[in-house]
């Protein structure tokens, strides 16, 4: 009996050890062992870079959305748990979305940019050219020869904006051209199988990724200072190994990149501004490069009112784009007493003065007419009476009539104040 039980136990042990071997090839229901991307797909699934659906399917021929690629890319870069320090600037992404944190992590790192209309379009499919551009963007700079693209039969289909990216990623071996090795098909949507191959390659060549995109412990190196305005509530900038943090309540100087007139403006309009010069700390660190653009949105518009009350324009600054193309969220308002743009006291004084002088001249002319024509000897009397009356009427009208619309020339400077910390990554 003991021999029988021992034999049964030995059989069961062998059987249970053998079953996983039999089951392993079928762990992904729709990817056979001889599938062209089986190795890469199994790798990304095993390492939780990409996942299966509830029924154990990988769906290799399905398209890859922007947010799905962002999620997987964060995993490759070991930044899936990155502490989010920025505010959401996208109108189509809300805190209730399961991918909310990943979108902000991507924005904070500068991985996948949003669109000019302040949307991220998380569920939009990625084209192969867009994916190539992302991989090129996060890998180390390299002067690649675009003439090598002529080795592919469809090189003329590559968009102009993606030519350098393709030349660079091909030189690094970070591309996919299945099933035809002579075709790149840049305008076709990326499939999940192709994404798995690219992510696998990037994981294996992680040393090619620029340091700022990989998980690195952040340490504060120095605290430096800006000297834009003596009235600024704060002037500190923290410099870390990864970024420059312009602290809340700092004041920055920007310039209109276009003419602006509140009379022809509407709530919701976007107004472009630019840093004409680089922003440096007093210690010499470049914080914001010259020709960085900031987009402001008109959020309120108060028309001129009677009794010389000027127009007031509320502008919210939300997006900052560096010359490199990196886009950062910013939260700032005009640095004025009521956080509104309006004409200054000298423009108001000029308006009142023009009314006073103008009607003073009219009064003088009228006095001359009424005094000189009937009796030339009374010319001085007419002037003496007409001038003060005209000036008085002009002064009153200047003070009573509606105020001025807000006008700005291209290149005219304004000051803005930060409502939250703003980071510029290295």
Q: How far apart are the first and last CA of the chain?
A: 74
Tokens of 109: 């790192």
For residue 324 the two structure tokens come to 């490199």
Pairing of strands 286-288, 279-280: antiparallel
Q: Give me the sheet containing 422-425, strands edge to edge.
A: 220-225, 236-240, 243-246, 422-425
Vertex 204: Cα angle to 203 and 206 (nearest 5): 60
Per-residue pLDDT of the chain (426 residues; tens, 9 = 90+): 455 444 544 544 444 444 444 334 447 999 999 999 999 999 999 999 999 999 999 999 999 999 999 999 999 999 998 888 888 989 999 999 999 999 999 999 999 988 888 899 999 999 999 999 999 999 999 999 999 999 999 999 999 999 999 999 999 999 999 999 999 999 999 999 999 999 999 999 999 999 889 886 678 899 999 999 999 999 999 999 888 999 999 999 999 999 999 889 899 999 999 999 999 999 999 999 999 999 999 999 988 865 456 788 999 998 899 998 877 878 999 999 999 998 655 454 444 445 444 544 544 455 445 444 454 544 444 445 444 554 454 444 444 455 678 989 999 999 999 998 998 987
Alpha carbon distance 226, 219 (integer Å): 21
- CA dist 147 and 107 (Å) reads 33
The β-bridge partners of 328 are 320
Residue 145: partners with Cβ closer than 8 Å, 6 or more residues away: 167
* Confidence (pLDDT) at 374: 52
Q: HEC string of the chain?
A: CHHHHHHHHHHHHHHHHHHHHHHHHHCCCCCCCCCCCHHHHHHHHHCCCCCCCCCCCCCCCCECEHHHHHHHHHHHCCCCCCCCCCCCCCCCCCCCCCCHHHHHHHHHHCCCCCCCCCCCCCCCECEHHHHHHHHHHHECCCCCCHHHHHHCCCHHHCCHHHHHHHHHHHHHCCCCCCCCCCCCCCCCECEHHHHHHHHHHHHHCHHHECHHHCCCCCCEEEEEECCCCCCCCCCEEEEECCEEEECCCCEEEEEECCCEEHHHCCCCCEEEEECCCCEECCCCCEEECCCCEEEEEEEEEECCECCCECCEEEEEEEEEECCCCCEEEEEEEECCCCCCECCCHHHHHHHHHHHHHHHHHHHHHHHHHHHHCCCHHHHHHHHHHHHHHHHHHHHHHHHHCCCCCCEECCCCEEEEEECCCEEEEC
What's residue 403's pLDDT?
A: 66
> Where exactly does CATH 2.40.128 map onto the chain?
220-344+407-425
CA nearest 308: which of 356, 267, 264, 261? 356
Asked if 262 and 406 count as a contact pair (C-beta separation under 8 A), the reply is: yes
**Domain 220-344+407-425 adopts which CATH fold?**
Lipocalin (2.40.128)
């Amino acid at each position: 009996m003991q021999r029988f039980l021992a034999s049964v136990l030995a059989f069961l042990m062998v059987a249970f050890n053998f079953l996983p071997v039999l089951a392993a090839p079928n762990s992904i229901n729709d990817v056979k062992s001889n599938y062209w991307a089986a190795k890469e797909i199994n790798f990304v699934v095993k390492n939780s870079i990409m996942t299966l659906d509830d029924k154990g399917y990988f769906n290799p021929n399905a398209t890859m959305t922007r947010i799905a690629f962002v999620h997987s890319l964060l995993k490759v870069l070991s930044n899936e748990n990155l502490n989010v320090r920025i505010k959401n600037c996208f109108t189509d992404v809300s805190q209730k979305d399961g991918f909310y944190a990943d979108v902000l992590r991507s924005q904070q790192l500068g991985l996948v940019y949003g669109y000019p209309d302040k949307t991220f379009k998380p569920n939009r499919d990625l084209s192969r050219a867009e994916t190539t551009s992302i991989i090129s963007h996060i890998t180390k700079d390299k002067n690649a020869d675009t003439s090598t693209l002529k080795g592919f039969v469809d090189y003329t289909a590559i968009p102009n904006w993606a030519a350098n990216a393709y030349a660079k990623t091909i030189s690094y071996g970070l591309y996919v051209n299945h099933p035809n090795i002579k075709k790149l098909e840049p305008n076709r949507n990326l499939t999940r199988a192709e994404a798995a191959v690219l992510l696998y390659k990037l994981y294996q060549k992680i040393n090619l990724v620029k340091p700022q995109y990989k998980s690195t412990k952040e340490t504060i190196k120095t605290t430096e200072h800006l000297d834009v305005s003596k009235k600024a509530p704060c002037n500190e900038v923290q410099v870390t190994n990864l970024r420059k943090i312009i602290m809340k309540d700092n004041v920055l100087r920007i310039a209109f990149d276009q003419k602006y007139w509140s009379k022809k403006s509407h709530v919701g309009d976007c107004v472009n501004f630019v840093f004409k010069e680089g922003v440096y700390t007093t210690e010499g660190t470049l914080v914001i490069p010259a020709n960085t653009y900031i987009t402001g949105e008109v959020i309120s518009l108060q028309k001129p009112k009677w009794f010389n009350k000027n127009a007031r324009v509320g502008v919210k600054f939300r997006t900052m784009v560096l010359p490199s193309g990196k886009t950062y969220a910013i939260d700032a308002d005009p640095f004025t007493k009521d956080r509104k743009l309006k004409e200054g006291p000298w423009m108001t004084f000029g308006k009142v003065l023009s009314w006073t002088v103008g009607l003073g001249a009219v009064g003088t002319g009228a006095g001359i007419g009424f005094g000189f024509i009937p009796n030339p000897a009374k010319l001085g009397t007419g002037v003496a009476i007409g001038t003060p009356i005209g000036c008085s009427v002009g002064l009153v009208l200047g003070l009573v009539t509606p105020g001025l619309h807000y006008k700005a020339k291209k290149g005219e400077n304004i000051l803005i104040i930060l409502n939250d910390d703003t980071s510029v990554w290295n």
